[in-house]
Amino acid sequence: MRITKFEEIEAWLSARELAKLIYSAVADHKGFTSDFGLKDQITRALVSVMSNIAEGFNSGTNPEFIRFLGYAQRSCSEVQSQLYVALDQKYITSDKFTELYDLSTKTSSMIGGFIKYLRQSKTKN
C-alpha cells in the first residue's frame, strides 16, 4: 500500500496517541500543570515527534525525509528523559511512567523501521 498522506504513517499515529496520553497526564496532576518548564518541554518534544514526521513526509526526497524522521526519533528520546523527571517529581505513577515510556519506545522503533525501509527504497531519491 502506498502512503499518500502523513496521517497514514503508523509511527505518526503512534506519536499522536502518545501526545494524547501525555497531555492527559499533564492535565491530571496539579503539580505537573504548574511546573511550566517541564510541561512546556515535554509537550513541545512530543509535538515535535508528530510534526517532524509530517514535515519530512512532504520534503520530496527520501534522504530529506530520513533526516526529519531522525529528528522525530530524537524527540522520542527527549520525551523519555522528561518522563523520568515527571516520575521523580511524583507527577506520574510508576505504572503511568511505564505506559508512556513503552509507547514512546514503540513509536521510536516504528520510526527507526521506517527509516530502514526508506534507505532501502529506490523511490523518491
99 vs 122: CA distance, rounded Å: 36
For 99-113, the pLDDT digits (tens) are: 999 999 999 999 999
* C-alpha dihedral (71, 75, 77, 82), degrees to nearest 10: 160
Contact of 41 with 102, CB cutoff 8 Å: no
pLDDT band at 96 (very low <50, low <70, confident <90, very high): very high
User: pLDDT value at position 30?
Assistant: 87
Domain 8-120, CATH number (from 3.60.20.10, 2.60.120.10, 3.60.110.10, 1.20.1440.60): 1.20.1440.60
User: pLDDT value at position 121?
Assistant: 83
pLDDT band at 33 (very low <50, low <70, confident <90, very high): confident
pLDDT band at 2 (very low <50, low <70, confident <90, very high): confident
- For cell 526519533, the residue is 73
Burial letters 64-95, b for 16+ CB under 10 A, else e: ebbebbebbbbbbebbbebbeebbeeebbeee
Contact of 106 with 14, CB cutoff 8 Å: yes
Backbone phi, then psi, for 39, in 5-degree steps? Answer: -60, -45
* Single pTM value for the model: 0.92
End-to-end CA gap in the chain: 19
User: Is 17's pLDDT higher than 70?
Assistant: yes
For 36-94, the pLDDT digits (tens) are: 999 999 999 999 999 999 999 999 899 999 999 999 999 999 999 999 999 999 999 99
